[in-house]
Chain A
Amino acid sequence: MTPDFSPPPAAPQTVLLVDDEPVARLSMSARLKRLGYRVLEAGDGKTGLALLRQERPDLTIVDWMMPEIDGPSLCELVRRDPLLQSSQILLMTGHDQPQQIAEGLARGADDFLSKSASKQEITARVQAGMRAASLVRSLERARDDIQHKQELLERELQSAADYVRSLLPPQGAILPGATVVHAFRPSLGLGGDLFNIVEWGDAAMGLYLLDASGHGVSSALRSASLSTFLRRDSLRHQVGSNDPGAILTEANRCFPMTEDGGYFTIVFTRLDARTRTVTYASAGHGGALLQRADGHILALSQPALPLGFCPDTRYESRVEPLAAGDRLLLFSDGLYEAPGPTKELWGLERLRAAVQRLRPLELERIPEALLDEALEWLGHDLFPDDVAIVAVEVKG
């Protein structure tokens, strides 16, 4: 955006004249009016400040010598006031000694005007002040404009985050043989994490967690689009199987890498209550752990290309037996890649140690407890990337 530096064409520019000597004030006021300016007058510093606040003149000309609030003091008051501090001030004095000029400038005046200045000099200095004032005003307008647009953008991201949230499964969902709880913390810029459940009748359910690379609304849209592909009816038509490896193989074909290098990592699991197994396939996703009832942890990951990297990749399923009390934990990289104050990442090892330590907690408390551990490492409460945690416990 190019800031507009030209003054607004409409109303005449306004000069506020603050001088306790009526004759001098009258004469300067007349000159300024002849130059085409609108002139406001104040007989002392206090009235001057009040008019500054009320009228926001383009330029203020202040006499140095005044009772109570003198010129330099008025300058100081203006510079300390957040609403007035960008005002343009010309300080007027009878004795234009270099030392005095330096003091006036140091205390907040923008320029000097000698009382003995010629008509031409007054005109030139007032015009220079006006030019500076228009420049400052247009910068302020540009800043306000940017702030406004930033707010709009943040609202857009917030509503996209709300939409993503609306796609998530209900908290504490009871499914065949398992309970599912989760936590989702979208980052300020929105990171493209999404997870959901696919209900396959009485005995089986699918559970996946995906992360679209990149940030912002486009990542969130791509995630939503992949999650639509992963709905039960769509899977039946497009894949014809509930095998995680087959599902990822087909998803990889349907979602090639975008021109900007956009892709997905995903872990897809199928929990089978009848055979008491978890079948899983992963595409470049590191965050999947199986914790046995005795606390032992197994990483459910295999080196595999993320979705979209290579069109003919075949993803293979692996199977693990399940027993009552086993917990399946899926997370996005935003959790274990939380950077600490020295930029060192929390890391998978520390995450595993936390999962181990938190084992005695009830399942319902696990997602928030893991978030707390990562937040402690982070040192503040704003994750730079989305964080998603899904925890499942196998019932007896």
Chain B
Amino acid sequence: MHITERPVPNGVVLDINGDLTYANRERFKTAVSALQQRGCRHMLLNMAEVRFVDSSGLGMLALVSQNFKLNDARVSIVKPQSYVREIMGLANLPKLIPIYDSEQDALSGRAHAA
């Protein structure tokens, strides 16, 4: 898994490339906590290049959403692939983290059916 950071107006995008799984949890945690420590107010997880999220991956997303909420910060998921969207839907994750079809929608917070 490869994660790159990209600042956008009023937020930071993490472009995630690879699977969000138990094996990759440390890399994901490191990237997220680096953003958190710098006081990021809105983190956008670009998941266009994520093929698979396992149960640990879902747990990390839930945890990240809880942590950001505690600090009055936001997390958005952008452009998940269909299988990943299905897994997240089954776990009702959109209830915790809104899912958007574009970074623009996520940044404007435009309500969108996930």
Contacts and interface: CB of A to CB of B under 8 A. Distances in A.
Interface in A256-294: 257, 260-263, 265, 284-286
Interface stretch (B3-11, B55-63, B98-106): B55-63
A309 interface: yes
Interface in B18-54: 22, 25, 51-52, 54
B24 to A, nearest CB: 13
B109 interface: no
Contacts of B56: 213-215, 261
B54 A305 contact: no
Given A261-B56, A309-B96, 13 more contacts: A213-B55, A214-B56, A261-B59, A261-B63, A262-B59, A284-B90, A303-B92, A306-B55, A306-B58, A308-B62, A309-B92, A310-B95, A343-B51
Contacts of B89: 303
23 contacts: A213-B55, A213-B59, A214-B59, A257-B62, A257-B63, A257-B66, A262-B59, A265-B55, A284-B92, A285-B90, A286-B87, A303-B90, A303-B91, A303-B92, A304-B91, A305-B92, A305-B93, A305-B95, A305-B96, A308-B62, A309-B91, A333-B55, A345-B83
Nearest to A333: B55
Nearest to A191: B55
A263 B52 contact: no
A337 B51 contact: no
Contact of A301 (B22, B90, B95, B96): B90
A395 to B, nearest CB: 31
Q: How many B residues are at the interface, by size bracket?
A: 20 to 34
Contacts of A304: 91-92
Interface in B69-113: 83, 87, 89-93, 95-96
Contacts of B52: 337, 343, 345
Judged by DSSP, the binding face of B is helix
Nearest to B94: A303
Given A213-B56, A333-B55, A345-B83, A306 B63 contact: no
A282 to B, nearest CB: 9
A308 B60 CA distance: 12
Interface string A105-116: 000000000000
A348 B52 CA distance: 14
Contacts of B92: 284, 303-305, 309
A84 to B, nearest CB: 38
A211 interface: yes
A284 B93 CA distance: 9
Nearest to A301: B90
Contacts of B62: 257, 261, 263, 305-306, 308-309
A215 B59 CA distance: 13
Contacts of A306: 55, 58-59, 62, 91
Contacts of B25: 261
Given A309-B96, A345-B52, A284 B91 contact: yes
Given A284-B92, A303-B89, A305-B91, A213 B58 contact: yes
Contacts of A303: 89-92
A263 B90 CA distance: 15
Contacts of A345: 52, 83
Contacts of A265: 55, 91
A305 B59 CA distance: 11
Interface in A329-376: 333, 337, 343, 345, 347
